[in-house]
Structure 1
Amino acid sequence: MRYRIPLDGNPTMDLELRKKYIGAFRDACYMSDTTPSTFNCLYKTWEKACEDAAKIGEVSGNAPYAQGYECQPVGNGDYTLQIGSDPANKLFVTFEPAPRQTPLVEVDGVLVEVSGPYRDLPEPPTVGPGHKFNNCFSGVFAADGTPLYQHKYILQVNRKAHGGQIHSDLAGFKWPCDVYNANCEKVPAECEEPLVLYEQEIDPPPFDPGQFAEVNHVVPMKDQRSCDWGTNSNKNAAVISNQLNRYLSNTNPPVEEVKRVNAAKSYAP
């Protein structure tokens, strides 16, 4: 359940207006995984919902709302906020079930499905939002007849395709990070994803602990509201370093990441 504020205009269809709301209200706003998909801003607390509701007029480009009024409870979980000198001029902040955010990612103004390099692998028996790659069996068995966890199967496929090495599916990807200089001071830097990654149980040391291979959800398991979002479909998988995985964890996937995994050659089972 979340508190929904009533947006001015039609941000579901108006991309520029949608950008304004996202720019102002950030992660509270998203397109829903419903038919049809709609754009709304939903909040965990009524206080934050009311704070942002007072800004809707200004953010949308319409006349700013009158300020200085406080939300009043209706009695059923909803709230009202007066937005003009006339007490009848008010909006409703409604307490209602929050739909899942669409797993489609906006790329150049178009919502696209993530379909990464493991798209041609057989899907595991259980696929769903919020499922981990290392909790589910892949449906494939190892040479000794034991069932393979999904992440182990994906790493095995990657290693086989690269002559015994694991390669990052985002090699060369750059992101802001912190490093320690010669004086042991933390300073901002730019990290770059390496090509070759390692499995602790298989590859002999030494290697950088930040280069452990992990299977990343391109659309993260959890959205910015900590709700289940990305699934464990093989299409949503990318092998990357644990250092990059930490950076991307539970954030909206960067457009560069989506473009690269969708354009990548698919691995053979």
Structure 2
Amino acid sequence: MRYRIPLMGNPGMDLALRAKYIAAFGDACYLSEGGAFNCFYKTPQEACDAGVLVAEVFGAAPYDKNYPACERIAGTENYARQVGPDPAINIVISYEPAPRQTPLVEVDGVPTEVSGPYRNLPELKDLWPGNHFYCYSGMVDGNGDGLTQQAWILQVNRNAHKGDAGVGEIHSDLAGFKWPCTVMNEKCEEVTVECEEPLVLPDPEDPVGTKPNVHHVVPMTDKRSCPWGTNSNKNAAVISAKLNKWLSNKNPPEEEVKRLKAAPAYTP
């Protein structure tokens, strides 16, 4: 349950207007999986403070900000804030269920489904927003032991990258991806540099070193800490722990979605 502010215009269809609202109000605003664009807040006062700015963000005559009181509407969980000389001139802050953010990612302005390289693997029955990759996959290893979804995905990756000696390697599905990261320089000072994702990742069986991660492209939770990305195989990518940490709880970058969608599908 969240407090929704009334917006002007049609930001669900108007990309430029949507960008203006996001620039003004940040993570509170998002496009739902039903196609509606709204801005939700945890407290009525936060919503009232943001709502009074909507007119000028939209480009209309600004609301009057001389009426700071945010008052509950009797008999409801909704609130109102006066924005003009007459008390009837107000904005209503509605208390309602906040829908799930759309899992579609805008790529070149087009809402696009995430469809990574594990898209051809049979899906598990238990798929839901916020679920991890540790459920039983229904598959077994060479010893007949059951595999979690994560272990299965890593095994599929390894099987696809066997060298002449028949030994498989774990390859990053985002090899070459670059992102800003922090390192220590020769003076023991933190500096920002450009990191690049390697091709070959550490063996998950190696007791030393950082394990490769099975990454949710659409993160398990959104920036409001609500369930978001599912444990669908389409939503999986094998990457380094370092890159996974940087991507955690971010809206997926367009470049990431483009790379994974263009990647050849692994054979089950």
Superposition TM-score tier, normalisation by shorter sequence? over 0.9
Are residues 1:196 and 2:200 paired? Answer: yes
CA distance in 2, matches of 1:172, 1:46: 45
Q: After superposition, where does 1:38-77 map in structure 2 within 5 Å?
A: 38-70=36-68, 71-75=70-74, 76-77=76-77
Secondary structure at the aligned position of 2:25 is classed as: helix
Aligned-partner Cα distance in 2 for 1:21–1:96: 20
1:74-116 deviation line (CA, Å, top 9, x unaligned): 1422110111222211010011011111111111111110000
Aligned partner of residue 3 in structure 1, secondary structure: strand
Quote the RMSD (CA, aligned, Å): 1.2
Report the equivalent of 1:13. 13
Matched residue SS, 2:57: helix
State whether residues 125 and 138 of structure 1, in contact with CA within 8 Å, keep that contact through their aligned partners in structure 2: no
AA aligned opposite 1:61: G
Conserved 8 A contact 1:168-1:241 = yes
Q: CA deviation at 1:184?
A: 1.2
Paired position in structure 2 for 1:129: 129
Deviation at residue 139 of structure 1 after TM alignment: 1.5
Aligned match of 1:151: 150
Partner of 1:256: 255
Unaligned runs of at least 5 residues, structure 2: 163-167
Task: Give the CA deviation at 1:13.
Answer: 1.2
The alpha-carbon deviation at position 125 of structure 1 amounts to 2.6
Deviates more, 1:42-51 or 1:249-258: 42-51
> Residue 139 of structure 1 corresponds to which residue in structure 2?
138
| Cα displacement (A) at 1:229 | 0.3
Q: Please tell me the residue identity of whatever aligns with 1:98.
A: A
Does 2:106 match 1:106? yes
Q: In the aligned structure 1, how far is the partner of 2:9 from the partner of 2:207?
A: 59
The question of whether the paired residues in 2 share the 8 Å contact of 1:125 and 1:139 is answered with: no
In structure 2, distance between residues paired with 1:49 and 1:190: 38
Contact 1:125 1:137 in 2 (8 A): no
Aligned to 2:232: 233
Q: Is the 8 A contact 2:177 2:196 kept in 1?
A: yes
Which one-letter code corresponds to 2:158 in the other structure?
R
Q: Could you tell me how far 1:204 is from its partner in structure 2?
A: 6.8
The alpha-carbon deviation at position 188 of structure 1 amounts to 1.5
Deviation at 1:47, TM superposition (A): 1.9
Give the drift of 1:250. 0.9
- Distance in 2 between the 1:216 and 1:104 partners? 17
Number of aligned positions between the proteins: 261
- The 2-side partners of 1:221 and 1:53 are apart by 29
Deviation at 1:14, TM superposition (A): 1.0
**Residue in 2 aligned with 1:245?**
244
State whether residues 169 and 203 of structure 2, in contact with CA within 8 Å, keep that contact through their aligned partners in structure 1: no
Distance in 2 of aligned mates of 1:257 and 1:241: 14
Aligned counterpart in structure 1 of residue 184 of structure 2, from 158, 162, 180? 180
Q: Which amino acid aligns with 1:228?
A: P
**Aligned equivalent of 1:91:** 91
User: What is the alpha-carbon distance in structure 2 between the residues aligned to residue 64 and residue 258 of structure 1?
Assistant: 39
Stretches of structure 1 that go unaligned for 5 or more consecutive residues are none
In the alignment, the residues of structure 2 paired with residue 11 and residue 30 of structure 1 have an alpha-carbon distance, to the nearest angstrom, of: 10
Give the SS at the match of 2:22: helix
- Listed one character per residue, the Cα deviations across residues 198-239 of structure 1 (whole Å, up to 9, x for unaligned) are 234x2475x5x3xx3100000000011101000000000000
TM-score (norm 2): 0.94
1:165 aligns with 2:169: yes
Q: CA deviation at 1:138?
A: 1.1
User: How far did 1:142 drift?
Assistant: 1.5
Q: How far off is 1:50 after superposition?
A: 1.2
